[in-house]
Structure 1
Amino acid sequence: MELIGAIWRKSTRSGNGECVEVADNLTGVVGVRDSKDPTGPILTFTPQTWRTFIAHTKRH
C-alpha cells in the first residue's frame, strides 16, 4: 500500500536510527513501517486502533 502524502517520523528516542516510522498525518489511516526498509511493507491501522495501542504501550 502506498500512502500518498504520508509524512513519516521516528521516535526522538531512536538512538541509532533503526526503528519503526509512523505516518499519522493522513485521514482515516495510520501507517507504520521499518525505517531500515522504507520501500518495504507498511502496516496500516485505524486512528482509534493506533491510539489504543499507544495508550496500552504507555501503561506497560
Structure 2
Amino acid sequence: MKIDDWLLEILACPSCKSPLRAEPETDELACTSTACGLVYPVRDDIPVLLVDEARKP
C-alpha cells in the first residue's frame, strides 16, 4: 500500500471524523477512535472511504 504521509495526515474516518492509521500488512486504513473502530479497504492504492464498505475489527 502506497499512501503518502501528507495524505494520511488529512484523511479522516467518514463516520466519526477521527484520524486514520495505515495497516500495511492488510492494506487497510483503521479508524483510531475506540468507539468507532471501522476499518476501510485500500484497493489499487486508493482508499475506499465508504461506511458501507468498512468492516468492524
What is the TM-score of this pair, normalised by structure 2? 0.35
Larger radius of gyration: 1
Q: RCO (CA 8 Å, sep 6+): is it higher in 1 or 2? A: 2
Which one has a larger percent helix, Structure 1 or Structure 2?
A: 1
